[in-house]
Amino acid sequence: MKEDYKNYKNKDWLEDQYINKKKKLREMAKECDVSIPTIVYWMDEFCIKRRTNSEVNSGKNNPNWKGGRNKDPYGYIRVYKPDHPRATKNHAHISEHILVVEKTLGRFLKGEERVHHINHIKDDNRIENLFLCKNNSEHAKVDKTLINIGIELALVEFKRGNIVFNRKKGEYNLLGDRGL
């Protein structure tokens, strides 16, 4: 048996290994040359609360960990940054476009500031594609300018006969590829 074989019967050692060092039960059992149920038994004896599976398998400990980057349902890239001021206990991922602008500015964004994707491609987070808006109102105004241009272009193409209105479906449609 290993030299530390009785550590598992010591409350301070168990708390230090499990709570402070965040070791897994499997690691502690292996270190003490005992089974996992033995470690669990002594933790229960000392009323040491065990982590849930979701706590144990969160972040880098999750077998599906992909480096902390993912795409949210809206198409934005999110990055795992649990220490970021915008991070919460349940939401430790921050939108990458926010991080890119913050790095360029050398500061965190203010609560009301918003980042606009110039080309409207939500995962194109190059700094030259990002524009900092002072608030939601300015962001909406920026978007409206593109919508207005789109309507003007659509009207020109409608007059040219490249856009038609389908009365049965109640929608506009482009006609073929006419150099648009």
Number of domains in the chain: 3
Residue 64 lies in a domain: no
What is the 3 state secondary structure string of 153-164?
HHHHHHHHCCEE
- Name the residue range of residue 123's domain: 69-134
pLDDT of residue 58 exceeding 90, the answer is no
Statement to judge: residues 130 and 110 lie in one domain? yes
Statement to judge: residues 85 and 127 lie in one domain? yes
In sign, the C-alpha dihedral spanning 172, 176, 178, 180 is positive
Bridge-based pairing of strands 77-80 and 93-95 is antiparallel
pLDDT of residue 76 exceeding 60, the answer is yes
Statement to judge: residues 120 and 156 lie in one domain? no
Q: What digits encode the pLDDT tens for the residues 106-129?
A: 999 999 999 999 999 999 999 999
Bridge-based pairing of strands 77-80 and 69-71 is antiparallel
Residue 35 lies in a domain: yes
Contact, 42 vs 61, CB < 8 A?
no
Of 34-48, 80-94, 138-152, the least confident: 80-94
CA dihedral 90, 96, 102, 108 (to 10 degrees): -10
Residue 2 lies in a domain: no
pLDDT of residue 179 exceeding 80, the answer is no
